[in-house]
Structure 1
Amino acid sequence: MKAATVGDNCMDVYLSRQESYPGGNPVNVAVYLKRLGADASYIGWVGTDDYGGQMRRALRDKGIDVSHLHQQEGQTAVTYVELIGSDRQFGDYHEGVMEHFRLTEADLRFIEGHALVHAGIWGHAEPYFPRFKEKGLITSFDFSDKLHHDLTRQLPAFMDYAFFSYTQDDAYIRSYLKETHALGARVAVATLGENGSLAYDGERYFRREAEAVTVVDTMGAGDSFIAGFLYGIMNGLPLTQCLEQGTRSAAQTITYFGAW
């Protein structure tokens, strides 16, 4: 089963270390899915600068299909990052060529050759999800911590798996996941940082605690969880085991520096 990830990419630039790492939710999810054993493709835009070349090389080296990673005149997206202890703090973000991202008909047909498609809230891919759903793809979307964004009301009707970032298991997030399911999502999932994860499938809630590991850098933890969860879905596992796969994947990612 093949997975396509679509939309935003960026170079995560650690100013204090003068180092840069490829990132962005769809990019990270593709790499983590490949790490788990899935075939993964990434569809997006990079600029004509050095960062664009670095992004393409890094993804190709990880075995990601980049045949629909397009180079556009301009700058690759950049996020400036600082580490406070082991926790990353995002600074300025420059969207670069991704500001005007769109999919061509050839891109859409390529994506439709996959079983699953995933995108995130910053990736400008949301207009295409009604078509993906109509074509029968498994659809997944990361809304991050933007629980009040307009898309959280508009997109669940076209989502099999809707992901959110929150802080704890409380009445608010349980009600929120239940409402997201009522809007059309097959399963609504919240990652809760050190407090684990929570999912709702319309009948019951599923809770999973985080694994205790030595944290080096939290960059990519949520994306890694999503990849682990989706890999479980791609292999027909029940939700409890999908949450377990996501938790294990995230725990691995936070034990080293950078997303991957």
Structure 2
Amino acid sequence: MRIATVGDNCIDYYQNLDQGFPGGNPVNVAVYLKRLGVSSSYVGVIGNDRYGKILKEALASKGVDLTHLYEKEGKTAVTQVELVDGERVFGDYDEGVLKDFKLTEEDLEFLASHDLVVSGIWGKVEDRMVDLKSRGCRIAFDFATKLEDPVKEVAIPHVDYAFFAADEDTPELRNFMEIEQRKGPKMVIVTLGEQGSIAYDGQFHRFGIVPCEVVDSMGAGDSYIAGFLKALLEGQTIEECMKKGAENSSVTLGYTGAW
């Protein structure tokens, strides 16, 4: 099993701790997959600054394939974060060299050599989803809380597994999931924080949480995605996939930073 992640990376800088941690949705998913014993690759770009070096060395130490990680003159992306009662509150975001990130034909072929490709709404690759799909790729995409972002309309027709995040299970949310699933995905999955998660593949599935002490919620959703996708590729049931996602998320909730 080989899974590739592609798109954004950043340093999550915690102002109240005066400390930075490597992060970014695709980066986090790649690391969490390795934690689960899955071979993972990351495709993206970093700056040639101190933060870029930190991020590259951290990913290499986790065993993520970085053969398509590029370094360019400029700054690595930084997200300002505050911790408030264990919940992350995002501040300013400096995109750095990611602003001009574009996939090459070689990158597309590399991604297509994997069993699954994972990206997200800030990854700047939504326009290439059609190219990946034409190469036979299975695609998972994290739209986070951006239920109405223009990126969604570009990407979702080519996505197999669409992940979102919301506060609670409502009739409006279920209607949204049904509408989005009809646009192309095999399945739409929504994480609901303390309320667990819900999935729709023509019928609805619910799963709760794995109780744990919450230290920092950073990376919890990405952990869920990694656990869910590993179980999915193993052929497990949707309920079991949701359970594995929750279990992996509970590990990440227990420490500060994404990983």
Following TM superposition, the consecutive aligned residue runs of length 4 or more in structure 1 with deviations greater than 3 angstroms are: none
Percent identity (aligned): 46
Q: Which residue of 1 aligns with 2:246?
A: 247
C-alpha displacement at 1:62, in angstroms?
0.2
C-alpha displacement at 1:234, in angstroms?
1.6
Q: Which residue of 1 aligns with 2:127?
A: 127
Separation of aligned partners in 2, 1:165 and 1:32 = 18
Q: Within the alignment, does 1:109 sit opposite 2:101 as a pair?
A: no
Q: Which residue of 2 aligns with 1:143?
A: 143
Q: Which residue of 1 aligns with 2:184?
A: 184
Contact 2:126 2:154 in 1 (8 A): no
Separation of aligned partners in 2, 1:158 and 1:206 = 23
Report Cα offsets for 1:122-142 as digits up to 9, x if no partner.
010111111211222210000
Separation of aligned partners in 1, 2:154 and 2:171 = 23
Separation of aligned partners in 1, 2:156 and 2:102 = 21
Separation of aligned partners in 2, 1:32 and 1:164 = 18
Query: TM (normalized to structure 2)?
Result: 0.98
Query: TM (normalized to structure 1)?
Result: 0.98
Q: Which residue of 2 aligns with 1:257?
A: 256
C-alpha displacement at 1:45, in angstroms?
0.3
Separation of aligned partners in 2, 1:109 and 1:164 = 27
Q: Which amino acid aligns with 1:227?
A: A
How many residue pairs get aligned? The number is: 259
Q: Which residue of 1 aligns with 2:170?
A: 170
C-alpha displacement at 1:121, in angstroms?
0.2
Contact 2:127 2:154 in 1 (8 A): no
Q: Which amino acid aligns with 1:60?
A: A
Q: Which residue of 2 aligns with 1:229?
A: 228
Report Cα offsets for 1:194-247 as digits up to 9, x if no partner.
110000002x10001112211000000000001111111121111111101101
C-alpha displacement at 1:168, in angstroms?
0.8
Specify the SS of the correspondent of 1:51.
helix
Q: Which residue of 2 aligns with 1:33?
A: 33
Q: Which amino acid aligns with 2:174?
A: R
Q: Which residue of 1 aligns with 2:88?
A: 88
After superposition, residues 62-101 of structure 1 pair within 5 angstroms as 62-101=62-101
Q: Which amino acid aligns with 1:159?
A: V
Q: Within the alignment, does 1:212 sit opposite 2:198 as a pair?
A: no
Separation of aligned partners in 2, 1:23 and 1:84 = 19
